[in-house]
A = this chain, B = another copy of it.
């Protein structure tokens, strides 16, 4: 037992978190209180959707740095599991190392479409919105999606329906798609005031004017909350709603100008970690994320654009530590493909 604890201490002592309000060393992390996601016990069960990982590519090449990434860290005694089936996607060969989902189930996916059109307050009717779900329905069914419609739900019913959907069985489906179309805003009660929340917070309206945060919707699909058959499968969310009251009116001297470029477009924002989560740093070799970024750019800048390279970076984060995981994010705001080399 003492030996086991010592081993764990060694495992934890090597990484640090880029966070101010906790002790640096992860020894101090309350890891004993972490819940064990039950889904992990089902590993190796029916998993028809896998993604092709460049894992082996990376393992077979020496890391650019001369310093080992996890010096003194004993490797987990669990074997590194490989995916059950690997199948090439029909893409250009130079893209074959990009992590890509492979869909081999009976149906391509299952979609939940919630369209709120008629509100308790009749002035809020979203005229024209019916056409959106009709058109989406046609397009998605043609692709091979099983489509479920729910229109005009209250906030409570929206969340309830989303929960049922995330807990339904996806063994015969490769993609989960949730589309919610309604009014929306970025407001929150703060004391006696209603304020706009900074940083991307969005809530979407039920027909009874009850709001559901889009994050609450997304969180129904973490592996603790969703059906185990969704593990490793793509979970796509599309929110058609307002996110505040600002609008991009492009005006010049009271005469309309057709703006070729939008005012807030062309922005890509990449974070080393998920909202709410810590970000790991090795006290000798630097942060996992920036180190992977350097490595990937050096190897792949002639082949891939920046977002593709960020997918490779995220894939590398899976292989940094036997106990800790880190998921990176990037947000495109009207961002086009951007290669990191000159065209002339």
A232 touches B266 (CB 8 A): yes
Q: Which residues of A1-57 are within 8 A (CB) of B?
A: 4, 11, 16-24, 26, 29, 31, 34, 36-37, 40-41, 43, 51
Q: Which residues of A187-229 are within 8 A (CB) of B?
A: 187-188, 190-191, 196-202, 205, 209, 213-215, 218, 221-224
A40 touches B196 (CB 8 A): no
A223 to chain B, nearest CB (A): 5
A12 to chain B, nearest CB (A): 9
Contact of A275 among B100, B183, B186, B205 (CB under 8 A): B186
What residues of chain B lie closer than 8 Å to A322, measured between beta carbons?
A: 256, 258
Q: Tell me if A331 is interfacial: C-beta within 8 Å of chain B.
A: yes
Contact of A78 among B37, B258, B314 (CB under 8 A): B258
Residue interface mask A231-260, B partner, CB < 8 A = 1: 111111111111111111111111111111
B336 touches A101 (CB 8 A): yes
What is the number of residues of chain A that contact chain B, defined by CB distance less than 8 Å?
Answer: 187
Q: Tell me if A152 is interfacial: C-beta within 8 Å of chain B.
A: no
What residues of chain B lie closer than 8 Å to A286, measured between beta carbons?
A: 128-132, 135
Give the one of A142, A255, A260 with max B CB within 10 A: A260
A269 touches B237 (CB 8 A): yes
Contact of A265 among B102, B266, B327 (CB under 8 A): B327
What residues of chain B lie closer than 8 Å to A18, measured between beta carbons?
A: 126, 181-184, 240-242
A279 to chain B, nearest CB (A): 5
A235 to chain B, nearest CB (A): 5
A116 to chain B, nearest CB (A): 10
Give A274 to B264 CA distance when docked, in angstroms.
8
- Known A-B contacts A249-B31, A268-B236; the reply to A325 vs B277 at CB < 8 A is no
A337 touches B272 (CB 8 A): no
Q: Tell me if A68 is interfacial: C-beta within 8 Å of chain B.
A: no
B285 touches A248 (CB 8 A): no
A235 touches B276 (CB 8 A): no
A137 to chain B, nearest CB (A): 10
Q: Tell me if A110 is interfacial: C-beta within 8 Å of chain B.
A: no
Q: Tell me if A151 is interfacial: C-beta within 8 Å of chain B.
A: no
B20 touches A341 (CB 8 A): no
Give A283 to B248 CA distance when docked, in angstroms.
19
Give A251 to B34 CA distance when docked, in angstroms.
8
Give A271 to B264 CA distance when docked, in angstroms.
15
Q: Tell me if A306 is interfacial: C-beta within 8 Å of chain B.
A: yes
13 pairs of residues in contact across A and B, judged by CB atoms under 8 Å: A24-B123, A80-B258, A83-B260, A92-B94, A135-B290, A143-B341, A184-B279, A247-B277, A248-B327, A250-B324, A251-B323, A259-B318, A311-B336
A-B contact sample (18 more), CB < 8 A, given A104-B342, A186-B275, A241-B279: A18-B181, A29-B247, A40-B250, A87-B343, A92-B94, A99-B337, A101-B337, A103-B341, A103-B342, A139-B294, A223-B263, A239-B270, A243-B271, A243-B273, A243-B277, A247-B278, A248-B325, A311-B336
